[in-house]
Structure 1
Amino acid sequence: MNMSQMELLRVLQETQFNLSKAAEKMHVVQSAVSRQLQLLEMELGSPLFERQGKRLQGLTPLGERVMQEVEQIHQAKKNIQSIAEDFRDSRHGTLHIATTHTQAKYLLPVPVQKFRQRYPGIKIYMVQSSPDNLIELLHSHRADIAICTEKLADDPRLILEPCYEWHHVAIVPQEHVLAEGKLTLQRLATQPILTYSPGFTGRTAIEKAFNDADLEPDIVLAAADSDIIKTYVRLGLGVGIIAETSYEATKDNDLLALDLGQLISSSVTKVAYLKQLYLPSYCRYFIDALLQQAQSKSANSKGSKLQAKA
């Protein structure tokens, strides 16, 4: 048993057990991959893969258990590399950030700017996707950190750090019927609703609020992007429900933002990374800058509310 065989198992899983693709990724011929796999299974005394002819169909029970150990070996290898780079105080590398559109546009610009000033030699790759996929990006080592609101707390293999608490607002044209009078979920339920796709930006909290009130909202458009929702509100398709941070008073002054903090429970945006991951110093710096910016946004939001109440 050797490290090359462990890497082969990891690559096979990454390529959905495709021998030819695994061979291509490892820069060897397919027969060499098959031979190494055969030698490993002979050493272990039991097959690791279910087969149909020469094709690998999936992992055997032993294979599944072995893959758990392989993943830990791969993580340890990455950690050793990161520790060595930190020891050398390396200012070169890559930071992979997985997040949603809302966080990428409204939370990350200031932390990214600070990071670039401190670590100009480190490249930033930002992937925008659904919360479910963000978690997969972490586990497949295609992202160092993930930033979003939904789903992260469901995975016990992640370390979570709360960024900031926020709530939703309803956005309507200036002369909309909801602009006057007390806003309630019952009144909202009479209007066509434009809001986030399931799994994005507090959609779970929106659904829970209406369900708890025994109401069914008429959601006529769902999108992952706050700007898309605002665009279609402007076209008169309905009432938008978006994150408060997505409403920009100067740019969106043609729309009214109606506070839903008393009607829909608040949400918490979190940053997550693998428990087994060694965080390089530059990654820790980015997280600290992110948390600092989040606290600033939260303080500004609370200040605005107090001013509005006064």
Structure 2
Amino acid sequence: MNLNQLELLRALRETNFNQSKAAEKLHVVQSAASRQLQLLEEELGSPIYERQGKKLLRLTPFGERIMEQVERITQAKKNIQVMADDFRDNRNGALHIATTHTQAKYLLPGPVQRFRGKYPGITIYMVQSAPEQLIEQLFQHKADIVICTEKLVEDEKLVVQPCYDWQHIAVVPRHHPLAQGDITLGRLAAFPILTYTHGFTGRSNIEKAFKTAGKPLDITLAAADSDVIKTYVRLGLGVGIIADISYQPEEDSDLVALNLAHLIPRSVTKLAYLKQLYLPAYLRYFISELLEGRPAGRFPG
């Protein structure tokens, strides 16, 4: 067994078990990759993959256990290099952040600006994706840290920390009927609702609130982006329910923001990283900036 064979297993997972693409990724010919896989399985005395002819279909149960160890080895190799750079106080490198549009636009500008001031040599890569795909970015070693509201649950392989809590608000044009009087779920339910796609920015808390109150929730438009929702509110398609931090008083002065803290439970945005990840000084600093520079709510809870 050697590290090249283990790298092959990792490349096969990343290419959905495509031997040709895995070989290309490792800069070897396919026949050489296939031979290395054959030698490894012979040495271990058990198949790692289920096959249909020469095609690899999926990992065997034994293969799944092998891949757990391969991931640990991959992380250890990365940790050793990062530790060496950290020891030399190397201020050149990269920070990979996986997050959603809302966090990228409204939470991260302040921490990122302060981070750039202290670590100007570190390149920041920001990957925006759906929440259910963000955790995969960590496990595939494509991200150092994930920041989102939905889908971040306790996992024995992750360190998960609350980052900041926030609330939903409703936004309507200035002459909308809801712009006057007290806001209730009953009044909201009388209008089409424009809000986030499933899995984004506290959508589950919105659904829970309406369901608990026994009120219908007529969502006529769902989007991942707060700005898209506000655009269609301006077109008169309905009432927008968005995160309070995404309401910008100067930019959104044509809209009225209505506090929903008494109607919809507060949401918590969290950060997560792999428990086995070695945290270099620059990543520890960035995390501290996230936790200490939490955005203030625009509306009292």
TM-score, with length taken from structure 2? 0.97
Partner residue of 2:3?
3
Alignment of 1:132-281 (within 5 A): 132-281=132-281
Deviations for 1:54-85, whole angstroms, at most 9, x for unmatched residues?
A: 11111112111111111111111111111111
Q: Are positions 1:305 and 2:296 aligned together?
A: no
Per-residue deviation, residues 19-65 of structure 1 (Å, max 9, x unmatched): 11111011111111111111111111111111122111111121111
Distance 2:155 2:202 in 1: 17
In structure 1, C-alpha distance between the alignment counterparts of 2:17 and 2:233, rounded to whole Å: 47
Cα contact 1:93–1:121 (8 A) shared by 2: yes
| Contact map agreement 2:154 2:160 (CA 8 A) in 1 | no
* Alignment correspondent of 1:100: 100
Partner of 1:67: 67
| Distance in 1 (alpha carbons) for counterparts of 2:188 and 2:195 | 12
* Separation (CA, whole Å) in 1 of partners of 2:155 and 2:222: 25
In the alignment, the residues of structure 2 paired with residue 61 and residue 291 of structure 1 have an alpha-carbon distance, to the nearest angstrom, of 40
Question: Quick check: 2:184–2:263 contact (8 Å CA) kept in 1?
Answer: yes
**Overall identity of the aligned pairs, in %:** 67
The answer on whether the counterparts of 1:152 and 1:158 sit within 8 Å (CA) in structure 2 is no
Q: Deviations over 1:194-239 (max 9, x none)?
A: 0000100000000000000111211110000000111111111110
In 2, the alpha carbon distance for the partners of 1:58 and 1:267 equals: 38
Matched residues in 2 for 1:182 and 1:55: separation? 63
CA distance in 1, matches of 2:139, 2:249: 38
Task: Give the aligned residue type for 2:275.
Answer: K
Cross-structure match for 1:15: 15
Q: Which sits farther off after the overlay, 202-211 or 179-188?
A: 179-188
CA distance in 1, matches of 2:152, 2:142: 16
Q: Is the 8 A contact 2:115 2:286 kept in 1?
A: yes
CA distance in structure 1 between the aligned counterparts of 2:220 and 2:139, rounded to whole angstroms: 34
* Structure 2 gap ranges (5+): none
Which secondary structure does the structure 1 equivalent of 2:293 belong to? Answer: helix
Structure having the higher helix fraction is 1
Contact 2:201 2:243 (8 Å CA) reproduced:
yes
Superposed, 1:31-50 pairs within 5 Å as 31-50=31-50
Amino acid at match of 2:170: A
Q: Which runs of 5+ in 1 are unaligned?
A: none
State how far apart, in whole Å, the 1-side matches of 2:103 and 2:239 are.
22
The one-character-per-residue Cα deviations of 1:119-149 (angstroms, maximum 9, x if unpaired) are 1111111011111011111111111101110
CA distance in 2, matches of 1:284, 1:233: 40
| SS across alignment from 1:305 | coil
Question: Retained in 2: the 8 A contact 1:83–1:278?
Answer: yes
- Is the 1:107–1:293 Cα contact (8 Å) retained in structure 2? no
Give the structure 2 partner of residue 283 of structure 1: 283
SS across alignment from 2:153: helix
State the SS of the aligned residue for 1:282. helix
What is the CA–CA distance in structure 2 between the aligned matches of 1:149 and 1:161, rounded to whole Å? 11
1: CA distance, partners of 2:292 / 2:209: 30
User: Aligned partners of 2:81, 2:177: CA distance in 1, in Å?
Assistant: 60
Structure 2 distance, partners of 1:215, 1:242, is: 19
Could you tell me which amino acid in structure 2 is paired with residue 14 of structure 1? E
Give how far 1:157 is off: 2.3
Q: Look up the SS of the partner of 2:300 in the other structure.
A: helix
RMSD of aligned residue pairs (Cα, Å): 1.2
